[in-house]
Amino acid sequence: MKILIIIFVSLAALMGCSGKYVSKDIENEFGDSIATVDSVTYYWKQLATDSARISVVKDSKVIKECIVKGPVYGAKQFDDGEIYILCSQEQIYWFDIRNIPSELEMLTEEDIENYDPSKEKADAVINVGN
């Protein structure tokens, strides 16, 4: 009888912990959850005042990481379902989850002021500031 009770208590304890421990570890290791899109979770981890990391996790495994450099303060999923990086109180940057680079270099306000669009090798440059 004692063995049956011990097995029952052990089984209940194991079932109570199942799944919760893993997701808590992932959140602690990779930072704050931004969003979950198509069973893939995106985590934001602020590394310093001028850098952060976005980890893309599926089935408890990192499948891609992106280092974000520059004046960034966080990221979140907006009502349109897209993920945006918060660069300042007035600026956001769309994070393309289909083409995730290994590194993003965000411009500082000083860089934007000194920016010369004529040096771009592009058909058009769109000014989204102010």
Establish if 130 belongs to a structural domain.
no
Establish if 18 belongs to a structural domain.
yes
pLDDT tens profile 1-44: 555 455 544 544 444 433 333 344 544 566 688 888 889 999 99
> How many distinct structural domains can be found in the chain?
1
Residue 99 identity: N
> Would you say residue 125 has pLDDT above 60?
no
Establish if 126 belongs to a structural domain.
no
Structure tokens at 109: 């306000």
Establish if 122 belongs to a structural domain.
no
> Would you say residue 122 has pLDDT above 70?
no
Beta strands in 1-130 (DSSP E): 32-37, 40-48, 51-58, 61-69, 74-77, 83-86, 92-95, 103-105
pLDDT tens profile 89-113: 678 889 999 999 999 888 777 776 7
Q: Which domain holds residue 42?
A: 2-107
Establish if 114 belongs to a structural domain.
no
Establish if 49 belongs to a structural domain.
yes
> For 119-130, what is the mean pLDDT?
59
